[in-house]
A and B are shown apart, each in its own frame.
Chain A
């Protein structure tokens, strides 16, 4: 369609967007047509299966903002997928492609050998059978050598590390089946297992491919944090001259100049100047904080409005940001100890099976004294107990669940996340950006003079401060044109409106020009964050009460989770009043306020020590370490890079009901996996005695193994049908339950 395949040989990397609302062919056509019409776009390709749009810009520097806005205007809110922030889809991945090729080759071999085997089983004898065995061997050996490599490599790796995994019995069974069959072929024997070796490889590769699609390359969240680290700074010499300095060379006592738009390189104390800084990294609160002489600012904090000079308190290596990185590394290392359910099974299963095979061999030698016969039976035990169904039990269920969740707008970082989510027994929420949408909105304003409304709106429109933006957005109507507007960092905006001096900003600063200290509209209602104020010179002070907006579905999500046995609590860096206000609105009893990132981690770890398994939902950089420390974690797509990378689940929509949905699906998946294990155990309970008695023929092996695998797959597919939410989401009437 808009695929400029020939025109542009050196494509810049395409930008990928997740578009959860992409649901039909019509949307595909609209999005591709309209985006291709934007300037600077070389190619657009929408992917309906993955609900993604890949946009190839004409030149590499194109910013994704314009595309996001355009998508939003079409009614498709989208979010940018960082090239390595989310699991890459299988088809785009070299390993996945190699596995697919392996599946194709194994399938080819299995079908052809099966064709020959069926002929043998139905009575081919003598020379014909010998020829068929040789042809089978000629097919099987190269196919196994090509397609079963992943198992051999993994098994070898596990043995070298003196561990046991599912691949050890698998590789052993495939190799022994092949070796035994080659021996029988050479001997002119009548039973060969080439077909078993190949169908095993085929089925197991399918399981491996599905499993691979669920896993992401191991990738820490630390990359995102370290990108915030500042590499250079501006040093102010005692004589007032400035020169650049590498961040690593900053020593305590040096005076640095921080300009607007720069990040603070180390922990500093302000000496001269003043500004608003974005401390979202530390507290998670988007509201800027004013700093002046004497204030301390942490490394990673973003300077917004004015320049200031500040003295370094600590070397960069001991800064706040460095401590965050260390905390995150510690938290991630702690989680690495989680053992996947499948591996737990393998540790039990593999030694058991190998011991049984050994016992069979010993038993047959003791009873019959026939070494060859004993080896044949022992190997057939290993072949028939090859954990085919066991290896499929987990990945198939996980893939079906992941597909389910993806269609509901929830992405999973890896398969163990589902296992861990099913075990979660409490929820810990961050407040700002998670329970609430990060931007404030204005509470209904008491009756206010028209002139003041217009003037305040006009001043607010001149500032980029989030509070000012909320005010400008809610105050419509006629706006006078203010003159000599000036933004005073840390205080607010000042200007001449219709010849009168007016101020909008911090209440103390505004009150300084007002006639009466507090007008009739002073003060906000209890529980509302004290908002900015406005006054004309000599006029009365008007307060603009700001409040946070709850995220859609927050109330319903918390009730649902409570009902599912997961009580909620809030861990917030915000001040107590704001936190308790939100907690009251949502009916959450336990709410902690004013926590530093380290305290959040400590809190999550304390829960774990009490034997709890908390699900942490958060979005800010200050939550990142807590996300990694929690038993399982989720974050909204609007979260910072590091937060999304640390989270196990990322939900794309605005709606928090995605969280209880994910919990339900995870628990259901856990059930299905247990049923699958039960099916596999049942199969083994029947097949093992038969094999140990030496009654297994290649035909029985083929039927038994295929049947058990098919049973497990069919059982997993039930996940997709049960408990499906209404097919199309019904838009809710109001934003949030009050």
Chain B
């Protein structure tokens, strides 16, 4: 059972990484237009990611 000392923190760390990734993607406006983003991959012209939300614009 001593392996739990390692496993439990590892589990938590992995969860925390996922949580961090979600926060990042939320800030990067990746959930604003799910249907549109699915279509954009088919467009020919180069598309750049949106700028993360700033404090001034809301």
Contact = CB atoms under 8 A, between A and B. Distances in A.
Interface of A: 1, 3, 5, 11, 13-14, 24-25, 28-29, 33, 45-50, 89, 91-94, 97, 100-101, 104-105, 108, 111-112, 115-116, 128, 131, 135, 139
Contacts of B12: 112, 139
Interface in B29-46: 29, 31-36, 38-40, 42-43, 45-46
B18 A108 contact: yes
B4 interface: yes
A104 B20 CA distance: 9
Given A94-B58, A108-B15, A112-B12, A101 B31 contact: no
Contacts of B48: 1, 3, 5
Contacts of B6: none
24 contacts: A1-B40, A1-B47, A14-B57, A28-B36, A29-B43, A45-B50, A47-B32, A47-B33, A47-B36, A48-B33, A48-B35, A48-B36, A49-B32, A49-B36, A50-B33, A91-B32, A94-B58, A97-B26, A100-B26, A101-B26, A108-B18, A108-B19, A111-B15, A135-B8
A93 B58 CA distance: 7
Contacts of A1: 40, 43, 45-48
B51 A5 contact: yes
* Closest 4 pairs between A and B when the two form their complex, measured CB to CB: A25-B39, A48-B36, A47-B33, A48-B35
Contacts of B29: 91
Contacts of B40: 1, 25, 28
A590 to B, nearest CB: 44
Nearest to B39: A25
Nearest to A56: B57
A33 B40 CA distance: 13
B7 to A, nearest CB: 10
A33 B16 CA distance: 40
A266 to B, nearest CB: 39
Given A49-B34, A94-B58, A105 B19 contact: yes
Interface residues of A, dominant DSSP: helix
Nearest to B44: A29
Nearest to A11: B57
A11 B46 CA distance: 22
Contacts of B22: 104
Contact of B1 (A14, A50, A94, A128): A128
B2 to A, nearest CB: 11
A190 B14 CA distance: 28
Given A94-B58, A128-B1, A28 B15 contact: no
B18 to A, nearest CB: 7
A100 B42 CA distance: 29
Given A101-B23, A101-B26, A104-B19, A25 B8 contact: no
A704 to B, nearest CB: 25
A48 B32 contact: no
A128 B8 CA distance: 12
Contacts of A100: 26
A101 B24 CA distance: 11
Given A14-B57, A28-B43, A29-B45, 9 more contacts: A25-B40, A25-B42, A29-B43, A48-B39, A89-B32, A100-B26, A101-B26, A108-B16, A115-B11
Contact of B50 (A5, A24, A97, A135): A5
A688 to B, nearest CB: 34
A132 to B, nearest CB: 8
A5 B32 CA distance: 17
B23 A46 contact: no
A47 B19 CA distance: 26
A112 B36 contact: no
A104 B57 contact: no
Contacts of B1: 128
B35 to A, nearest CB: 4
Nearest to A92: B58
A727 to B, nearest CB: 15
A115 B9 CA distance: 13
B43 A25 contact: yes
A185 to B, nearest CB: 16
Nearest to B50: A3
Contacts of A33: 45
Contacts of A45: 50
Nearest to B51: A5
Contact of B4 (A11, A24, A128, A139): A128
Given A3-B50, A5-B51, A111-B15, A104 B33 contact: no
A20 to B, nearest CB: 15
A111 B38 CA distance: 29
Greatest chain A CB density within 10 A among B31, B39, B57 is at: B39
Given A50-B33, A128-B1, A131-B4, A28 B39 contact: yes
B15 A112 contact: yes
A128 B1 CA distance: 8
A3 B49 CA distance: 9
A1 B47 CA distance: 5
A5 B51 CA distance: 6
A57 to B, nearest CB: 14
B15 A46 contact: no
B50 to A, nearest CB: 7
Nearest to B29: A91
Nearest to B1: A128
Given A1-B45, A5-B48, A49-B33, A24 B15 contact: no
A486 B4 CA distance: 93
B8 to A, nearest CB: 6
Nearest to A22: B36
A104 B16 contact: no
A210 to B, nearest CB: 14
A46 B18 contact: no
Contacts of A135: 8
Nearest to A13: B57
Contacts of A93: 58
A277 B15 CA distance: 67
B44 to A, nearest CB: 8
